[in-house]
Amino acid sequence: MDTASLHQKIVQKIEASLQNFLGTQHFGTARDLRKMLSYHLGWEDEGRHGKRIRPLLTLLCTGALDGDLNSAMPAAISVELLHNFTLIHDDIEDQSDIRHGRETLWKQWGIAQAINAGDALFSIAQLSMLELAQTCDADIAVRATSILNQVCLHLTRGQYLDIALEANDDTELETYLEMTLGKTAALISFSTALGGVITGQEEPITKQLSDFGRSLGMAFQMQDDYLGIWGDPKITGKSASSDLQTKKKTLPVLYGLTNCQEFNELWKNYHPSSEQIAYMTNVLETCGARSYVSDHVKNYTNHAFDALVSIFGDVKDKNIYVDALLELCEKLLSRKA
């Protein structure tokens, strides 16, 4: 089997397991609560959904360490459910109306029901992780669920900073890194580390897997920030410099605010028009923001691949899961949209 077919096969298994696990939960007369979760997960009303990258990482890391993918499935499902729980609450907190081309949950059902549905999904994510007591053993289930909740706490710290920073123009780059670590990298790092926890690896291997995921997550987010300004509108499907249009405080903007007085002054009274956006994009590039961000993406990408090499030694031809892992990372980090 080639790596592309392997990806596809695993993602189909993930999707079936997600549907199956949600199907076994009891909703009683609160049937609409199940419908809300199905809608958010992309299974209702011609839904679309994310690429299930996090559970894919968990399963590929498990396979790369010669572990059993079926035993790891409850953990993989759990990280995807957890990720989706955070999206439901983030959309309320950020007042986002649209996700994957459809109305967000709170836009459809109101804030009260959406907070509650998020809480339900959080509980279901925990229940899935605890299933590891059946597929592996109770010690592994406790360890994995404990890390899951430490990661959640890390996510809430990241989200706290994000909400607080939106209101503050004096954000430091250091705070951005801490926020990104919490909001994006912590969960991706957990997804990869789980491969080590499930296969019962010694601490150094699990730590290296965690480092790999963290660097991958940081590179992924910064690549997102890069594409939000310098992505090709024909490929991203968004308008040029879309993050400048929405006044999002991404890494290039924070670099500009810190290192370029002209950008800083323009930003203070910034009412985006297409001329203004084009001008600001140029100012950012001139002051070095573009190369700063792309250097950061490169550095984190190199860290991620170095971590893989330090775990698997000569990574080539190790096993098909290692190959698939490498290919997934390359795809994620060279994406243009």
Smallest separation, CB 322 to a copy of itself (Å): 31
Smallest separation, CB 143 to a copy of itself (Å): 9
Residues sharing a CB contact under 8 Å with residue 9, sequence separation 6 or more, in sequence order:
1
Interaction between residue 81 and a copy of itself (CB under 8 A):
no
What letter does residue 200 receive in the DSSP assignment? T
Nearer to a copy of itself, 126 or 294 (CB): 126
AA identity, residue 40: H
Smallest separation, CB 47 to a copy of itself (Å): 21
Q: Which residues, numbered 171-190, are part of the site for a copy of itself (CB under 8 A)? A: 175, 178
Interaction between residue 112 and a copy of itself (CB under 8 A):
yes
Q: 259 is written with which tokens? A: 């290192």
Interaction between residue 157 and a copy of itself (CB under 8 A):
yes
* Torsion, Cα of 139, 143, 148, 150 (10° steps): 140
Please check whether residue 181 is in contact with residue 158, taking contact to mean a CB–CB distance below 8 angstroms: yes
CA-closest candidate to residue 129, choices 83, 173, 98: 83
Nearer to a copy of itself, 110 or 233 (CB): 110
- Number of C-beta neighbours around residue 247 at 10 A: 12
Beta bridge partners of 103: 98
Interaction between residue 152 and a copy of itself (CB under 8 A):
yes
Q: Which residues, numbered 235-294, are part of the site for a copy of itself (CB under 8 A)? A: none
162: Cα within 13 Å, side-chain hemisphere = 19
Interaction between residue 227 and a copy of itself (CB under 8 A):
no
- Binding part of the chain for a copy of itself, among 160-168, 248-256, 261-269, 325-333 by CB under 8 A, reads 160-168
Q: Under rule CB under 8 A, how many of the chain's residues touch a copy of itself?
A: 48
Q: At what angle do helices 3-24 and 31-40 cross, to 10 degrees?
A: 160
What letter does residue 182 receive in the DSSP assignment? I
Interaction between residue 97 and a copy of itself (CB under 8 A):
no
Of residues 150, 261, 282, 291, which one binds a copy of itself by CB under 8 A? 150
- Using CB under 8 A as the criterion, which residues of the chain lie in contact with a copy of itself when the complex forms? 25-30, 32-33, 89, 92-94, 111-113, 115-117, 119-120, 122-124, 126-127, 130, 133, 137-139, 141-142, 145-146, 149-150, 152-153, 155-157, 159-161, 163-164, 175, 178
